[in-house]
């Protein structure tokens, strides 16, 4: 039923022309990251968009929304991650945000994908490319296509959850492969090491 404020990570492969009919949510921060293919989104706020590879979408469900998600292709599947994070404010006005290509190509280090709404302006230029959420949590993406060694220091005393999408990743010497997750049992104030010998994709969550 979740870890800290992280409620759900669904990894979905949606067949061509299939999807999720309109359905309700409330009081949840819903983040969708498309890995391959394209997803067609519509919601009761009047938003309609195509979410492509590397795009990050955020819905703050707040006081309540309806939305649908369908594979926009009639021939190819779409591969995506949908993440639910519990908000720290109840019944806010629902809102929508989408950033294009944030997680779409390899780069060194970690890329901010979601940052707290309360601190985005203070989090540096790279955070402006991330979506914002109503929670003191941060989501980073790692997209490495070659060996990489990285040290990450949580911002304050934080717990972490790391979800490996593809390849292999070592955290403090513990190996995780595609589909695996690693998490901390206590808050971490010190840097921890991330290492991949051949490249990988992963999400790293900082959670209060």
Residue 125 gets which letter from DSSP? G
User: Beta-carbon neighbour count of residue 172 at 10 Å?
Assistant: 12
- The hierarchical CATH code for the domain 6-207 is 2.60.120.10
The pLDDT of residue 155 is 81
pLDDT by residue (tens digit) across 32-91?
999 999 999 999 999 999 999 999 999 999 999 999 999 999 999 999 999 999 999 999
* Average pLDDT value for the chain: 94
List Cβ neighbours of 153 (8 Å cut-off, separation of 6 or more): 190, 191
Give the pLDDT confidence of 124-173 residue by residue, as tens digits: 666 788 999 999 999 999 999 999 999 999 888 889 999 999 999 999 99
pLDDT for res 128: 82
Evaluate whether 24 touches 65 at the Cβ level (below 8 Å): yes
Specify burial of residue 10 (Cβ count, 10 A radius: 0-12, 13-18, 19+).
exposed
pLDDT one-digit tens code per residue, 99-125: 999 999 999 999 999 999 887 666 666
Domain ranges of the chain: 6-207
Give the max Cα distance, the chain. 48
């Amino acid at each position: 039923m979740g870890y800290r404020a992280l409620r759900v990570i669904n990894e979905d492969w949606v067949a061509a022309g299939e999807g999720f009919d309109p359905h309700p949510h409330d009081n949840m921060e819903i983040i969708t990251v498309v890995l391959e293919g394209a997803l067609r989104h519509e919601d009761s706020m009047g938003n309609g968009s195509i979410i492509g590879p590397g795009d990050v979408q955020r819905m703050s469900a707040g006081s309540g929304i309806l939305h649908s998600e369908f594979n926009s292709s009639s021939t190819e599947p779409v591969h995506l991650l949908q993440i639910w994070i519990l908000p720290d404010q109840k019944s806010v006005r629902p809102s929508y945000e989408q950033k294009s290509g944030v997680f779409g190509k390899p780069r060194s280090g970690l890329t901010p994908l979601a940052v707290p709404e309360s601190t985005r302006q203070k989090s540096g230029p790279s955070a402006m490319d991330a979506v914002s959420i109503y929670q003191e949590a941060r989501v980073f993406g790692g997209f490495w296509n070659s060996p990489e060694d990285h040290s990450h220091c949580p911002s304050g005393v934080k717990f972490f959850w790391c979800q490996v999408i593809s390849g292999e990743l070592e955290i403090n010497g513990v190996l995780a492969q595609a589909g695996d997750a690693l998490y901390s049992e206590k808050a971490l104030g010190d840097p921890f090491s991330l290492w991949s010998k051949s490249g990988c994709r992963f999400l790293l969550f900082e959670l209060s």
